[in-house]
A and B are shown apart, each in its own frame.
Chain A
């Protein structure tokens, strides 16, 4: 038997796959859904109610670009009315001062603004479009309103040396929280991994910079740092454990235990149009698949850390070890760790992709119709 699930704490609502940016590390699946297949306002409102009733505390409205939804104010309002803490994860592109004011009036608690770099040049290369100047305007508008702000810098080989400038940008803003999130290698990022994976020297420098910034900014800005797990000794507790804390709803209503779960062969995901959130959480095959410990192989099965990291990430196990039930290959105890080491060795060779802005050969994420 698998363990009895506790309630999820957060609902990740991927409202749409439409997005004005084309980031080379996008966490959306390679197969993007178009507007015609998106859930209606009414269904999302029902989902928020059901989520709150089963004990969910927070709604993370994300995408794609959630502001691409013309009903975003109604969605914020209904999530708030359900009693959820409402977090908008946005590129800031389709925003102006008036729309920001309306979002806050509708009940937005927290806004997370993404940045692709500290300079216009790198941001344009990564997002495949001119985006940085608009983000700087959004930062100015955010100073005038009462909403909690997080800045999110997605970190990789091309921008990891800009962390000082990113910190300066954060300090000049109204943000009380800053995430420096190294790229996680799934989907689009997996396809672009060679160009994104930082060197060990870069990583060590960034950790040093951020440690001292954490001290210096204590009480002013909370700094969170996600290291690239390829460099870690033990895997991350992906999603806080499969089916333990988080539930993700795709733009078309599929309920997933994580962003990338659809890549796992043989999995069938239930749709919120057919069943209630609670039923899906408690009884669906997909949410039970890697819940608890019964599915684990050695060395996880008897490992002292199995309740800390839950065997790591299932999608990474599939991508690197070819088996979603295997120990996450980034784990130093995994029989397949050599594959990760080989990837790191290539990334740390002097002949590895140059840190230049010229001639990139990126796979950009398109915007679905």
Chain B
């Protein structure tokens, strides 16, 4: 991001690593749910969606409509 940097560790790093133009949001959610299998899956999903929305608001990423 111009004039900004994200400090990434743990889950945030695992999410951003998967924002590669290939993973769908659903794929990111299921992969993280596997990594964090001890956490409540619904909670993992909502945390990821919140985080992605935040990055989108900062214009750090865009969502592509699935074809």
Contact = CB atoms under 8 A, between A and B. Distances in A.
Interface of A: 9-10, 57-58, 85, 87, 110, 112, 148, 150, 176-177, 218-219, 221-222
B5 A176 contact: no
Contacts, number: 24
B20 interface: no
Contacts of A221: 59
* 9 interchain residue pairs of minimum CB distance: A176-B59, A222-B59, A110-B2, A57-B5, A219-B57, A150-B2, A87-B2, A177-B59, A9-B5
Interface string B1-29: 01101000000000000000000000000
Interface residues of B, number: 7
A157 B8 CA distance: 41
Nearest to B63: A219
Contacts of A85: 2
Contacts of B56: 219
Nearest to B56: A219
A112 B57 contact: no
Interface string B34-51: 000000000000000000
24 contacts: A9-B5, A10-B3, A57-B5, A58-B2, A58-B3, A58-B5, A85-B2, A87-B2, A87-B3, A110-B2, A112-B2, A148-B2, A150-B2, A176-B59, A177-B2, A177-B59, A218-B57, A219-B56, A219-B57, A219-B59, A221-B59, A222-B57, A222-B58, A222-B59
A218 B59 CA distance: 9
A10 B59 CA distance: 20
A177 B60 CA distance: 10
Interface SS of B by simple majority: loop
Contacts of B58: 222
A96 B59 CA distance: 27
A219 B2 CA distance: 16
A97 B57 CA distance: 30
Chain A CB within 10 Å — which of B2, B56, B57 has the most? B2
Contacts of B3: 10, 58, 87
A235 B15 CA distance: 37
Contacts of B2: 58, 85, 87, 110, 112, 148, 150, 177
A150 B57 CA distance: 15
Interface in B49-67: 56-59
Contacts of A150: 2
B42 to A, nearest CB: 24
Nearest to B2: A110
A222 B57 CA distance: 7
A110 B59 CA distance: 13
B10 to A, nearest CB: 20
Nearest to A89: B2
Nearest to B53: A219
Given A176-B59, A219-B59, 15 more contacts: A9-B5, A10-B3, A57-B5, A58-B3, A58-B5, A85-B2, A87-B2, A87-B3, A110-B2, A148-B2, A177-B2, A218-B57, A219-B57, A222-B57, A222-B58
A218 B3 CA distance: 19
Nearest to A87: B2
Contacts of B5: 9, 57-58
A111 to B, nearest CB: 9
